[in-house]
Amino acid sequence: MSKTLFERIISREIPADIVFENEELLAFRDINPQAPVHVLLVPKRVVARVDEAQRSDRELLGNLLLAAAQVARQLGLAENGYRLVINNGADGGETVPHLHCHILGGRPLGWPPG
Ligand code: 5GP
């Protein structure tokens, strides 16, 4: 199988502005930011999307959310708030088939999204 775009970022084949890394996760700034702070947090092990996650992925999924909160704090978003988004499938707006959590903040975000 060919590598996903995010695997190429994880392996440093494609440069990115990395803001956080540990042994199972990487966070980097989105190339097309939708807010003053827009970071993508991705597992290094590929799970295509939430819909394909298995029970065996539950620790990874939990760690993803905990790390998202940690990265948001690190980037100064905790006080005013922020949004976490996981797009799933075509109608969900998922364009890269490698699970990722968007961390968006730095301005008030409307609800519902368009
Ligand atoms: P999705 O639409 O799949 O939820 O999110 C994919 C995100 O990846 C988009 O917000 C898009 O701007 C971002 N993206 C696409 N290509 C690149 C890239 O080469 N580098 C970075 N840093 N982000 C990218």
Question: For residues 76 and 55, what is the distance between their CA atoms, to the nearest angstrom?
Answer: 33
For residue 113, is it within any domain? no
Query: Would you say the CB of residue 28 lies under 6 angstroms from ligand 1?
Result: yes
For residue 110, is it within any domain? no
Mean pLDDT by 10 residues, the chain (114 residues): 94 98 98 98 97 98 98 98 98 97 97 88
Number of domains in the chain: 1
Determine the atom of ligand 1 nearest the C-alpha atom of 95: 3
CB burial readout 18-40, b (16+ within 10 A) else e: ebbeeeebbbbebeeeebebbbb
For residue 49, is it within any domain? yes
Q: What is the pLDDT of residue 11?
A: 98
For residue 114, is it within any domain? no
For residue 43, is it within any domain? yes
Q: What is the pLDDT of residue 114?
A: 76
Q: Which domain holds residue 98?
A: 5-105
Best substitution site from 64, 96, 99 to test ligand 1's pocket, by max atoms within 8 Å of Cβ?
Answer: 96
Query: Would you say the CB of residue 16 lies under 6 angstroms from ligand 1?
Result: yes
For residue 86, is it within any domain? yes
Query: Would you say the CB of residue 96 lies under 6 angstroms from ligand 1?
Result: yes
For residue 112, is it within any domain? no
* CATH code, domain carrying 34: 3.30.428.10
Question: Which residues belong to the active site?
Answer: 100
For residue 68, is it within any domain? yes
The per-residue DSSP string of 50-88 comes to GGG--GGGHHHHHHHHHHHHHHHHHTT-TTT-EEEE---
Cα 5 to ligand 1 centre (Å): 9
